[in-house]
Amino acid sequence: MKRLFQFTLPQTVTKTVEEKSKDKDGNEVTTTREASKEVDQVITLKKPNRVMYDDAELYYGVTLSEGIKAGLLTRALLSKRFSNDGGVMSNEDKEDYADLYLALFNNQTEIERLSGVTAKKRTEQESEKFSSLMKRNGVLKREIQDFELAQASLFEQTAENRARNKTVLWWVLRMAHIQGSEEDNSEPIPIFSGGSHKERLDSYDGLEELPDPFYEELLKKLVYYVSYWYVGNVQTEEEFKRLLSDLEESGLEEASMEAIEEAGIEKESAKKTDTSQKKDTKKKKTKKEAPVEEAPAETPAEEPPAEDSPEDPDNNE
């Protein structure tokens, strides 16, 4: 299996340990006890092949059509509505956004100037200023990110955003593999078992409901890494390592993970929600309303009709 990225995650495992001793008569006695041990589990993201790309593209298209059919606006239509109302950002917001970028530019210029002098040759004053500039750089990047996330939140409820979130989860279910400990040389196996998309989703939900904090952290990191890969920020293992290193230095890694988590990766396995939507639809159909008015609000978000199609080639992955 070709690897896109690999990382380790500590997990506390409980094992049964046998202890041998002798009683007062000299007879050997074996006792067992439970012992906890922390093991680093090796998690691997599989490098996608042509078949996976084709299936993902089909899945995105079907899910996008499903969202539009259910009444969600496309990003273009929503942008047009905002434009008619004066735009997404007010004049004050535009000025604040421009000021942040100008401050970041000036700050980075100063950092580059001081970087021309090696750390050993810097004076104490220059070293303090360089440290202050680096901290300021992280703060400015965080403020810009928060500003952009606030603007992006206006477009969260679009057909494209829903399709993208579902497709990210689609990739997570197929790319995530586990190898076990670092000493284990066996071939990585899929974390989410099942032949169909629904079976993999059930496996995902099963892990999500476990009380073990290992799986909570695992699912969060998988969505985090796959999301960065999906939007095109990283495509190789070297780029993954460089990105994570930059985020750690700037202090933005935690903020980025929270942002992705808040984006609300939509899981198609929310059976209770689907059931309640169908019940509400049946109740509304009993009322005498025009079909045209009912359609956008009542059409339930069912599984894409052609979803099984992109699942069949999974055996070729």
**45-79 confidence digits (pLDDT tens):** 999 999 999 999 999 999 999 999 998 888 788 77
In the chain, the N- to C-terminal Cα span, in Å, equals 9
pLDDT by residue (tens digit) across 176-185? 999 866 566 7
pLDDT at 182: 59
In a domain, 278, yes or no: no
Confidence of residue 82 (pLDDT cuts 50, 70, 90): low
Task: For the chain, count helices (H), then strands (E).
Answer: 12, 4
Are 51 and 99 found together in one domain? no
Where is 245: in which H helix or E strand?
Answer: helix 237-250
CB atoms within 10 A of CB 128: 11
pLDDT by residue (tens digit) across 105-121? 998 888 888 888 887 88
In a domain, 24, yes or no: no
Are 87 and 151 found together in one domain? yes
Range of the domain at 10: 1-19+30-72+166-271+284-317
DSSP string across 283-303 = HHHTS---HHHHHHHH---PP
Domain limit, last residue, from 95, 123, 156: 156
Closest CA to 253 of 7, 43, 3, 4: 7
Are the beta carbons of 256 and 218 closer than 8 angstroms? no
Confidence of residue 217 (pLDDT cuts 50, 70, 90): very high
Helix, strand, or coil (residue 66): helix
Query: Can you tell me the distance from the alpha carbon of 291 to that of 34, in angstroms, rounded to the nearest whole number?
Result: 63
CA angle 183/184/187 to nearest 5° reads 145
Are 197 and 224 found together in one domain? yes
Angle of helix 50-69 versus helix 159-175 axis, rounded to 10: 150
Are 66 and 108 found together in one domain? no
107: tokens are 């700050």
Q: Quote the number of domains for the chain.
A: 2
Are 213 and 177 found together in one domain? yes
Are 114 and 210 found together in one domain? no
Domain limit, last residue, from 156, 184, 209: 156
